[in-house]
Amino acid sequence: MLYLLIFLILLLFSYNEVFTSNDKLKKTLYIASYYILVVLAGLRYETGGDWQSYAEVFDIIEPINEVIKGNGHVFANHQIEIGFRLLISITKFFSSNVQLLFFIVSFGCLTLLFKNLSVYSTYPQTSILIYYSVLYFFLDFVTIRQAISVMIFFFSIRFIQNRNLLKYIALIVTASFFHLTALLLLPLYWIINKRFSSNKVIIFFISINLVFLLNIKWMEATLNLVLPFFLGPVATKITTYTAESALVGRGISIGFIINIIIFTLLMLTRSKNDGSKYYNIFFNLFLLYAFVYSVFFEIVDISNRFRLYFALSELILLPNLFIAFETYKNKILIFIFVTLFSFSTSRNIFLERTGGSAYNPYQNYIIYKMFDIKSTGKERLEINDKDFEENK
């Protein structure tokens, strides 16, 4: 129940931020949240997903001193993105223990997150509560390459607002060195800073949800059509995503209903928040989130990969609701909604239910090594994979 305990702690921190005026305490709790999340993710030991794959890659890539000497055959030829290869190689120069890599990624990504939220969010502590529930267990415990890419993109949003194309391109290209999907974010520079009329937004939202509700399938055929035009890692990814075992679709669930509720709240309060500096950009990012969720329903893995970039919008938009609903009673109702939304997203992990096996129980590297405790990481991954297959 460690994760649930931390959720409750962050919930109290968030309540303090919204309903009290002690700025010094707010700052202290924000810093405390940072250390809690860095330690939890950075010192996890064989907990979460993909750690085994990253450990295997870490073992075979040569340290940077060997690469410089010309002894970097695996480094030069491995298909994983060059930025992540370089990070592994540099890390391995200092230690042959993959735990150092996990800690460095956790420290770097969460440092960027907290600094970015200080710029973008009116209620950064509440944003942390939402991040912990919506993105933390996926980005910081599973897809650490994409976590780096997502946080670089998050930082780059200020350059969309400030209309600095060169800096935006430089950051997105850098992000693609850790996860190639980031390149698809380049066109956003010309799109998400625009303000679309409410009528157009409503028509767009209804249209994408009709694709989902009417079960209009298009992704598999499209990916198979474009496959001959790609080579190397991209072709491999497309083949993987269109394999029969990967074709897991998304059905109507609580997530679909929550998207409709959030959209309704955003439309009701849009005029009150339009003056906020970054509001329009994050509003459009939420529309892209809804688009990916509904239109990419056919292959959940692809939908989930892309939604990670756009889910950042929820960290900013949901806390902004406190500005629009000014009375104490309304703020309490919004706080209850944010709490229920956050809890429901990671409820399987918090309550140690089916689907959270890879995370529970939490294993801390220092404690497990200090007391020579046997890890159950591999067994829990097998249980998690079995649960996934049974619940397709």
For 36, 101, 128, 131, 376, the CA distances from 124, given in Å and listed in that order, are 15, 27, 6, 10, 35
359 three-class SS: coil
HSE-CB at 29 with a 13 A cutoff on CA atoms is 23
- Contact 72/90 with Cβ under 8 angstroms? no
> Per mean pLDDT, which range of 6-15, 229-238, 321-330 is the poorest?
229-238
Question: Which residues are registered as beta bridge partners of 44?
Answer: 364
Question: Which residues are registered as beta bridge partners of 364?
Answer: 44
Per-residue pLDDT, 274? 82
Per-residue pLDDT, 236? 58
> Does position 392 have pLDDT exceeding 60, yes or no?
no
- The burial class, CB within 10 Å (0-12 / 13-18 / 19+), for 22 is exposed
| Mean pLDDT of the 236-263 span | 69
For 263, 264, 287, 321, the CA distances from 268, given in Å and listed in that order, are 9, 6, 15, 10
Q: What is the pTM of this model?
A: 0.93
> Does position 361 have pLDDT exceeding 90, yes or no?
yes
Confidence of residue 173 (pLDDT cuts 50, 70, 90): very high
- Contact 196/270 with Cβ under 8 angstroms? no
Instruction: Give the distance, in angstroms, between the CA of residue 243 and the centroid of all CA atoms in the same chain.
Output: 24
Look at the alpha carbons of 355, 205, 327, 273 in this order and tell me if their dihedral is positive or negative.
Answer: positive
d(CA 164, CA 150): 19
Confidence of residue 234 (pLDDT cuts 50, 70, 90): low
259 three-class SS: helix
Per-residue pLDDT, 302? 78
Per-residue pLDDT, 247? 47
Among residues of the chain, what percentage have pLDDT more than 90? Answer: 78
| Mean pLDDT of the 348-356 span | 91
- Packing angle, helices 98-120 and 82-94, rounded to 10: 120
**Does residue 254 or residue 155 have the better pLDDT?**
155
Per-residue pLDDT, 244? 46
> Does position 230 have pLDDT exceeding 90, yes or no?
no
Give the end-to-end CA distance of the chain in Å, rounded to a whole number.
26
For 52, 97, 256, 311, 335, the CA distances from 45, given in Å and listed in that order, are 11, 12, 33, 27, 34
- Taking only the tens place, the pLDDT of each residue in 11-48 is 999 999 999 999 999 999 999 999 999 999 999 999 99
Confidence of residue 245 (pLDDT cuts 50, 70, 90): very low
d(CA 49, CA 61): 20
- Taking only the tens place, the pLDDT of each residue in 53-86 is 999 999 999 999 999 999 999 999 999 999 999 9
d(CA 168, CA 233): 25
φ, ψ of residue 363 to 5 degrees: the values are -115, 125
| Mean pLDDT of the 240-252 span | 55
Per-residue pLDDT, 252? 76
Per-residue pLDDT, 216? 85
- Taking only the tens place, the pLDDT of each residue in 270-310 is 998 887 899 999 999 999 999 999 988 887 777 888 899 99
Residue 258: Cβ within 10 Å count: 17
Q: Where are the alpha helices (DSSP H) in 274-311?
A: 279-295, 300-310
